[in-house]
Amino acid sequence: MAMEARGALVPKRNLIRTPEEIEGIKRSGVINTAILDLVGEKIHAGMSTLEIDELVYNYTVEHGAIPACLGYEGFPKSVCTSINEVVCHGIPSAKEILKEGDIINVDCTTILDGFFADASRMYVIGQTTARKQKLVDVAKECLYIGMEAAKPFGFVGDIEHCNSFYERWLGFRTALVEADLPIDRALCILKKDSELYGSTEWLLEQLDALPAMPDAFACANDYLAIHLMTALKRKGVSIPEQIMVTGFDGTSQSALVDPALTTVQIPSLEIGRMAADILLARIRNPEMPYHWTHVKTTPVWRESTRGQG
C-alpha cells in the first residue's frame, strides 16, 4: 500500500466493522454523550475537577459501562479535565477548583459491551475573556467545517455479480479505511444485477431512498457510472460540484459523456494473454499450485471528479 510504504500507520482490514458492531459503537456513544450532557448540567464555579471525575464514574457504571480512561497506561482517573492552558489529558484533582472565566475541556471515553466511544466537550465557566471565548468559538466552528467536509462515499454495483466487482468493492472499502473515512453501506446501491441498473427511473428511486447523498460515488464499472450520472442530472445534481462520480474499465464511452468520466484503465489485452498462458500451463500441469496475479491499472482523471480533468 502506498501510504504504508511511506511509513504511515495503516489500519488493517479487521478494523472494518459489521453493521452489528457499528450499532454496538453507537450504543456506547449514547452513554458517552449523556455523560458530557450531565457534566454540562452540573459544572459550575467552585467545583473541583475531582467532582467531575466522580460524576463521570458514577454515571458510567450505573449504566453498565466502563470508564476507559481509568487505569489505561496507569492513568488514575475516569476522565481527562484540561483547564485553560492545559492542552489535553489533565488529571482530575481535589485541588483544582474551577473559577469564573475558566474554560475546561472534559474528555471522556466509554466502553459498553466491548465497544468504545470517545468524545470531548469544552465548557465555559460563567463569563470569560474575549480571547478565551474566541478560542472556544473558532475551535467549534472548525469542528463543524470538518464535519461538513468529511462526507462519506458510496459504491454502486452488485458486489456479487462477479469476482472482479467484489474485488473492486474490497478496494473501495480498504481505500476508505486507509484514508480514515467512514464506510456506510446505507449510502451504497448494492442491489442484485437482476435489478434495472440501466434504468434512469429505477436509479432515481434508489437515490431517493438513500438517507443522505454522499460526496462521491465509486461505480463498479463505466456502464453503471454513466447511467448513474444520467439519474443524478435528472435530480438536478451538478457533477462534480455537488457529487463526484468514478467508473472502472476505461471504456471509450467514458470519454464521450458529459462531464467526461473519471475511470480506471485496465490492460485488457495483457490480462487476456496472461489468463491464456495460465490456463495452458494448468492444462499441461494440473498439479501446479494456485497463485494470485496482480496487474497494474491506470487512473484516468477527467471532469467528473473535482480538481481533475
* Residues 159 and 273 occupy one common structural domain: yes
Residue with more model confidence, 32 or 292? 32
* Residues 173 and 140 occupy one common structural domain: no
Residue 1 banded pLDDT, cuts 50, 70, 90: very low
Give the Cα separation of 26 and 35 in Å (integer). 14
Phi first, then psi, for residue 169 (nearest 5°) are -65, -45
CA-CA-CA-CA torsion sign (17, 18, 19, 21): negative
On whether residue 7 sits in a domain, the answer given is no
Report the predicted TM-score, pTM, of the whole model to 2 decimal places.
0.56
On whether residue 94 sits in a domain, the answer given is yes
**Over residues 5-25, mean pLDDT:** 69
CATH of the domain at 64: 3.90.230.10
On whether residue 235 sits in a domain, the answer given is yes
* Residues 218 and 291 occupy one common structural domain: yes
Residue where one domain finishes, among candidates 149, 179, 207: 149
Residue where one domain finishes, among candidates 121, 149, 177: 149
Evaluate if residue 66 carries a pLDDT over 80. yes
- Residues spanned by the domain of 132: 19-149
* Residues 292 and 168 occupy one common structural domain: yes
Residues 93-113 have pLDDT tens digits of 999 999 999 999 999 999 999
Q: In what order do the strands lie in the sheet with 216-219?
A: 153-156, 216-219, 244-246
Residues 182-213 have pLDDT tens digits of 788 889 999 987 778 889 999 999 999 998 89
Residues 274-297 have pLDDT tens digits of 888 888 988 999 888 887 777 788
* Residues 88 and 122 occupy one common structural domain: yes
Residue where one domain finishes, among candidates 124, 149, 174: 149
* Residues 131 and 195 occupy one common structural domain: no
In the block, residue with C-alpha cell 465557566: 125
Give the Cα separation of 78 and 91 in Å (integer). 9
Centre a 10 Å sphere on the Cβ of residue 84 and count the other Cβ atoms it contains.
14
- The tally of domains found in the chain comes to 2
CATH of the domain at 222: 3.40.50.2300
Residue type, 130: A
Phi first, then psi, for residue 3 (nearest 5°) are -65, -40
Is 60:67 a contact under the CB 8 Å cutoff? yes
Phi first, then psi, for residue 298 (nearest 5°) are -130, 120
On whether residue 224 sits in a domain, the answer given is yes
Find, among 6, 8, 5, the residue nearest to 180 by Cα. 8
* Residues 166 and 98 occupy one common structural domain: no
Question: What letter would DSSP give residue 88?
Answer: S
* Residues 182 and 170 occupy one common structural domain: yes
* Residues 139 and 55 occupy one common structural domain: yes
Residue 259: cis peptide before it, omega within 30 degrees of 0: yes
* Residues 59 and 31 occupy one common structural domain: yes
On whether residue 10 sits in a domain, the answer given is no
Residues 73-96 have pLDDT tens digits of 999 999 999 999 998 999 999 999
Tell me whether strands 153-156 and 216-219 are parallel, antiparallel or unpaired: parallel
On whether residue 106 sits in a domain, the answer given is yes
* Residues 26 and 45 occupy one common structural domain: yes
Please give the torsion angle defined by the CA atoms of residues 191, 193, 199 and 201, in that order, rounded to the nearest 10 degrees: -20
Find, among 122, 121, 138, the residue nearest to 130 by Cα. 138
> Quick one: which H or E segment has residue 173?
helix 163-178
On whether residue 50 sits in a domain, the answer given is yes
On whether residue 3 sits in a domain, the answer given is no
Mean pLDDT computed over every residue of the chain: 89
- Chain centroid, CA 193 distance in Å: 26
Residue type, 66: I
The pLDDT value recorded for residue 4 is 59
* Residues 282 and 264 occupy one common structural domain: yes
Residues 155-185 have pLDDT tens digits of 999 998 888 898 899 888 888 877 767 788 8
Residue type, 148: E
